[in-house]
Amino acid sequence: MLQLNVSQLINSIKVEENNNPQKPKEGSTRRQFLGQIGLAGVGLQLAPLISKAAGVAALNNALPAESITLNFTVNSTKKSLMLDTRVTLLDALREKLHMAGSKKGCDHGQCGACTVLLDGRRINSCLHLAVMCEGAEVTTIEGLASGGELHPMQAAFLKHDGFQCGYCTPGQICSAVGLLNEGHAHTDDEIKELMSGNICRCGAYNNILYAIKEVQNA
């Protein structure tokens, strides 16, 4: 894995500078020193990105490009898709089926914006390969309403203002539906704990809690 550290970066800067015939080899100025430290800082910031990009590239090189036909059900409709085996469920939904309700926040399983229901259980669709859904039933935010009626959880989010910008909301609602299917949350603290995988940057947590409790107690 490609790694950078401060001393390697500063040493490489020094070697390069000492090999540069146009630069004085000794007596570096304060400005030069600060410049080196600044570059080291940039290097530190870029290191994780470079490492991740190298990892993704290595993975893509390691796995052969192969396509398969995936047969599954999305929002009660049977779908058949020709897919690269490396495509995530989230990308299949958004880019192949053009269902943009499930949101891509972090793409790393950390924010919950991509939450959908797979056979009734909530999952992060960004961490799930589409090919793992063969024969499964996927429900997205687009599939919760029925016959022109909002799902009770959607209606409760509206009633309690369980959102501001709305970016996390499809994931929050799908996760809340999954939470009630699981039946493990009985107190406010348990609801908060079991919804903690869904991040809301707008901080609408209290209203989300009120919405979930309303549906739970209905």
Interface positions with ligand FES (CB under 6 A): 104-107, 109-114, 124, 126, 163-169, 200-202, 204
Tell me 146's DSSP state: B
Least gap, CB of 202 to ligand FES (angstroms): 3
Q: Which residues neighbour 209 within 8 Å (Cβ) at sequence distance 6 or greater?
A: 188, 191, 192, 195
Separation between Cα atoms, residue 50 and residue 42, nearest integer Å:
12
CB 108 within 8 A of CB 126: yes
- Decide whether 167 or 210 has the Cβ nearer to ligand FES: 167
Least gap, CB of 217 to ligand FES (angstroms): 23
- Decide whether 17 or 214 has the Cβ nearer to ligand FES: 214
Which residues, in sequence order, are bridge partners of residue 149?
Answer: 146
- Decide whether 46 or 165 has the Cβ nearer to ligand FES: 165
Least gap, CB of 108 to ligand FES (angstroms): 6
- Decide whether 66 or 193 has the Cβ nearer to ligand FES: 193
- Decide whether 32 or 96 has the Cβ nearer to ligand FES: 96
The residue written with tokens 């970066």 in the block is 9
- Specify the 3-state DSSP secondary structure of 80: strand
Least gap, CB of 7 to ligand FES (angstroms): 35
DSSP 10-51: HHHHHHHHHT-TTS-SS---HHHHHHHHHHHHHHHHHHHHHH
Least gap, CB of 182 to ligand FES (angstroms): 18
